[in-house]
Each structure stands twice: as C-alpha cells, then as structure tokens.
C-alpha cells in the first residue's frame, strides 16, 4: 500500500500568535496544490482557533498538543477533545515524551485520552519511545510493547485506523541526536508487528508510523528512505518555515 508521507511540526511552547498565523499563511501558500505529502502543525492551544481558520480547506492538518482525558467537567485549566475539535483540529498529540516525563503522564491516562479523542473523531498521534537508559539496558522493545499495550487497551480495529503512532526515542528529542535510520526502522517494524498480532496485517499495513527526534532537513531523506517510516514528527526544525518546508520537500521525493 502506497502512503503519502505524513509530516507534522510540533511547535511546543514556541512562537507568538502573529508569528504562528504568518507561518500558517506562508505554509498554505508554499504548499498550494501540492499533495505528495500530508502536512500538519501543532500550535499552542491559544492559537488553534486562528490557525485553523487560516488553514481551513487547505488540506493541512492542525493538531492540538494535548487534551484532557475527561469530556468535560471541573478540571480548571484543562482543554477537552471536543473543544479542540470544535475549533477545527483534526489531530491531537497524545503521550508525547515531554508529557510523560515532565508531567508524569502514565499509560492509563494516555489510554483514556486516546479514547476520548476517538469518541469525537479527533485522530490521535500517539507517541511512544524509550529513554537512553532503557536503550542502553536493551529494554527498547519491552518499553515500547508496554506503552503500546497500555495506550491502546480496549481500542477496536476500526478505531486503530484513525491512530497515527509516532516513535520518538526520548534521548533523540531536542538533543540533536537522531536514531540511526536502520535502528529507527527496526523499532517501527516491531511496532507494526505488534499491531499485526493485535489487529491483523491489513490494519498494520495501513497504519501510519512516524519517526520523531531531532529530524532536520539533512537527515530527513535517510529516515524517509526506510521502508517502515511513513512520516516524521518534527519539533525544533518545524518552528522555522524554511527548515520545515525543506523537510516536506525532501519527504515528497519518497
Ligand atoms: C518532538 O517534539 O516531537 C520532537 C521530535 O522534537 P525535536 O525534533 O526537537 O527533537
């Protein structure tokens, strides 16, 4: 099955509203009718409404960087799945390593967020990945399997098709260290085997698995050349329009 590369930029807690809107306008103009690549950006919550308006009808996806696990209620300061859906988001990052490690988000909480996202037709970009310590202890597969098992508990085959999995080794995020393309490919292959066992080969083959961790224009080509890598989740290099566009350009040749 041929899949268009899916390239998503995670802005994290960066850019101003003006910069974000300008970026979105320029991205829209630059991509115009190009459709070899599916593109998305993850602005801060407070920019989502404006940026969704700028990108409406463009085919460029907008993802929230997080949601709460409950549909609504007394959760001061939190944002629900339906709220981000209502302003026009198509996707949401769930289980990003910064949420897991800085905010102590556990697999059960992540699982509840995935379920609430799916319940309002918001597509989760579900992040998994091992720490450096875990990799050095040769526990990568064990960690990924546990994160997949916990995060996807109770999710049906129909719904799995709406999930994107992002393999993001924690030691490669924001550090400038990228996984060797072959090493990343091996973990992607492991993830796809897990999905095959749980949900069948067709579902596994249609699943998008992105790589994330210090992706730059210089390494995007080698990563995208790997057969199991369907797209990229880009942090630091997605904040500058030029480098993000270069990555999109490189991906369009794969
Ligand atoms: C990310 O935040 O998901 C990420 C991969 O960041 P960076 O590209 O900066 O490593």
68 is an active site residue: no
Is residue 144 situated within a structural domain?
yes
Is residue 6 situated within a structural domain?
no
Tens of pLDDT, residues 115-155: 999 999 999 999 999 999 999 999 999 999 999 999 999 99
Counting the structural domains of the chain, the total is 1
What is the pTM for the complete model shown? 0.96
Q: Is 69 annotated among the ligand-binding residues?
A: no
> Rounded to the nearest whole angstrom, what is the distance from the C-alpha of residue 36 to the centroid of ligand 1?
23
Q: In the prediction, which pLDDT does 32 show? A: 79
Tens of pLDDT, residues 234-244: 999 999 999 99
Residue 34 has pLDDT above 80, yes or no: no
Q: In the prediction, which pLDDT does 177 show? A: 84
Is residue 202 situated within a structural domain?
yes
Is residue 72 situated within a structural domain?
no
Residue 1 has pLDDT above 80, yes or no: no
Is residue 136 situated within a structural domain?
yes
Q: In the prediction, which pLDDT does 63 show? A: 98
% of the chain at pLDDT higher than 70: 100
> Rounded to the nearest whole angstrom, what is the distance from the C-alpha of residue 213 to the centroid of ligand 1?
5
Tens of pLDDT, residues 66-99: 999 999 999 999 999 999 999 999 999 999 999 9
If one counts every other C-beta atom within 10 angstroms of the C-beta of residue 86, the result is 13
Is residue 10 situated within a structural domain?
no
Positive/negative CA dihedral, 196, 198, 203, 204: negative
Domain region containing 120: 25-67+80-236
Instruction: List the catalytic residue out of 68, 96, 159, 188.
Output: 96
Is residue 200 situated within a structural domain?
yes
| Domain CATH for 159 | 3.20.20.70
Is residue 36 situated within a structural domain?
yes
User: Parallel, antiparallel, or unpaired for β 208-212 and 6-10?
Assistant: unpaired
């Amino acid at each position: 099955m041929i899949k268009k590369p899916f390239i998503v930029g995670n802005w994290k807690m960066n850019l101003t509203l003006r910069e974000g809107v300008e970026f979105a306008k320029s991205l829209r103009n630059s991509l115009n009718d190009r459709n070899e690549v599916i593109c998305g950006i993850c602005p801060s919550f407070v920019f989502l409404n404006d940026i969704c308006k700028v990108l409406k009808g463009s085919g460029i996806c907008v993802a929230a960087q997080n949601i709460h696990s409950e549909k609504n209620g007394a959760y001061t300061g939190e944002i629900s799945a339906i709220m981000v859906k209502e302003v026009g988001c198509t996707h949401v990052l769930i289980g990003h390593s910064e949420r897991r490690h800085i905010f102590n988000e556990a697999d059960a909480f992540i699982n509840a967020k995935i379920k609430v996202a799916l319940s309002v037709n918001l597509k989760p970009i579900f992040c998994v990945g091992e720490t450096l310590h875990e990799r050095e202890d040769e526990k990568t597969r064990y960690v990924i399997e546990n994160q997949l098992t916990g995060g996807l508990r109770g999710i049906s085959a129909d719904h799995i098709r709406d999930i994107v999995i992002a393999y993001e080794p924690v030691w490669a995020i924001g550090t400038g260290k990228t996984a060797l393309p072959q090493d990343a490919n091996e973990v992607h292959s492991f993830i796809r085997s897990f999905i095959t066992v749980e949900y069948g080969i067709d579902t596994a083959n249609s699943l998008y698995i992105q790589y994330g961790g210090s992706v730059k224009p210089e390494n995007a080509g080698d990563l995208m050349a790997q057969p199991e890598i369907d797209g990229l989740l880009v942090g630091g290099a997605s904040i500058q329009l030029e480098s993000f566009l270069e990555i999109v350009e490189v991906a369009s040749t794969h």
